[in-house]
């Protein structure tokens, strides 16, 4: 009886050993029960799976992810990897966005660029309307209304130096250049106040004035005589070249048959002032030449 019991125990032992071996083999191959999965794994359909990563059991047993999805942290997500390298806007390649542009810009090749269209039509310089440039001007020029024009240095002679004039918006040396002098008109005293108040012509006749223009006392021009008037209007013009230090004189005569009577003269020893003023009006009511109006302009 004792021997029989031992035998039974032996058989049981062997049987159980085999059972144990079988169990271990079975468990390591295709799982066993819930208690047998390693830490972090869960038994799903007789398999120990990681619900965080298993696309057939994502998050929970039997939750199968789509063909284009992967299981990440227990959720089915697209298996696409977004790529925004070097991009500040536009598609990330996975249906997402790499960013959006501000209102005045558009996304072009992953970059936010101005949506302004530059306009340089008819322009050689200046703003293109989008913050760019249509070109720059050469030295001595300035951009005006999209065109390169010479730099404006002056608007009148006083914008320039002492011995300079403003010529077509450029300051130029005043001397060694041609001017047009116009002797406009004069007012002559009724009698020759310089010579005992004599009449200009015999019997109270009025003078017949003409004017001579002289540079440094050399005659350079002579007007026609106007008959019998104290208020000659000549509008006589003569072109002269003026140099620094020149003096301009205006001699007025009464034309006579024999020797002309000298009425009087006005000497301009400061022509640069006259040039800058565009002329002068001399007045002296006590003199034979009570008024003389002259204009001058560069040619």
Where along the sequence are the contacts to Ca ion (CB under 5 A)? 200-201, 205, 208, 228, 254, 256, 261
Please give the Cα distance from 26 to 66 (Å, whole number). Answer: 31
Distance CA 190, CA 142 (A): 57
If the CB atoms of residues 274 and 290 are measured against Ca ion, the closer one turns out to be 290
d(Cα 74, Cα 212) in Å, to the nearest integer? 114
Q: Whose Cβ is closer to Ca ion: residue 34's or residue 205's?
A: 205
CA–CA gap between residue 123 and residue 84 (Å, rounded): 40
CB nearer to Ca ion: pick between 54 and 254: 254
Question: Measured from the CB of residue 223, what is the shortest distance to Ca ion in angstroms?
Answer: 15
In whole angstroms, give the CA distance from residue 222 to residue 234. 10
d(CA 249, CA 214): 5
Judged by DSSP in three states, 139 sits in: coil
Residue 196 CB, shortest distance to Ca ion, in Å, is 14
Q: Which is nearer to Ca ion, 88 or 228 (CB)?
A: 228
User: Residue 255 CB, nearest distance to Ca ion (Å)?
Assistant: 5
Q: How far is the CB of 226 from Ca ion (least distance, A)?
A: 10
If the CB atoms of residues 169 and 229 are measured against Ca ion, the closer one turns out to be 229
Q: Distance between CA 35 and CA 64 in Å, rounded?
A: 24
To the nearest whole angstrom, how small is the minimum distance from the Cβ of residue 237 to Ca ion?
24
CB of 190 to Ca ion, least distance (A): 13
Distance of CA 292 to the CA centre of its chain: 51
Pick 177 or 191: Cβ nearer Ca ion: 191
Distance of alpha carbon 76 from alpha carbon 176, whole angstroms = 94
- Is the separation of the CB atoms in 139 and 150 below 8 Å? no
């Amino acid at each position: 009886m004792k021997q029989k019991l031992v035998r039974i125990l032996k058989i049981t032992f062997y049987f159980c050993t085999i059972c144990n071996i079988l169990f271990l083999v079975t468990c390591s191959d295709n799982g066993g029960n819930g208690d047998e999965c390693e830490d972090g794994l869960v038994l799903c359909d007789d398999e120990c799976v990681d619900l965080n990563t298993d696309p057939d059991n994502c998050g929970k047993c039997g939750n199968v992810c789509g063909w284009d999805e992967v299981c990440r942290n227990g959720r089915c997500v697209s298996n696409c990897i977004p790529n925004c390298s070097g991009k500040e806007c536009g598609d990330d390649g996975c249906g997402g966005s790499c960013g959006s542009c501000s209102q005045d810009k558009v996304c072009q090749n992953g970059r936010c660029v101005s949506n302004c269209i530059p306009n340089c039509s008819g322009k050689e310089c200046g703003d293109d309307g989008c913050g760019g440039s249509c070109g720059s001007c050469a030295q001595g020029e300035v951009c005006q209304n999209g065109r390169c024009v010479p730099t404006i240095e002056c608007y009148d002679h006083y914008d320039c130096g002492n011995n300079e004039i403003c010529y077509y918006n450029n300051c130029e040396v005043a001397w060694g250049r041609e001017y047009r002098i116009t002797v406009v008109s004069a007012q002559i005293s009724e009698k020759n106040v310089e010579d005992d108040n004599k009449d200009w012509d015999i019997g109270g006749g009025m003078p017949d004035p003409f004017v001579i223009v002289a540079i440094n006392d050399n005659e350079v021009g002579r007007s026609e005589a106007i008959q019998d008037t104290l208020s000659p209007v000549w509008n006589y013009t003569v072109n002269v070249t003026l140099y620094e230090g020149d003096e301009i004189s205006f001699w007025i005569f009464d034309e006579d048959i024999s020797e002309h009577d000298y009425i009087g003269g006005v000497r301009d020893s400061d022509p640069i002032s006259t040039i800058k003023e565009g002329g002068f009006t001399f007045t002296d009511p006590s003199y034979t030449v009570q008024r003389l109006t002259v204009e001058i302009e560069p040619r």
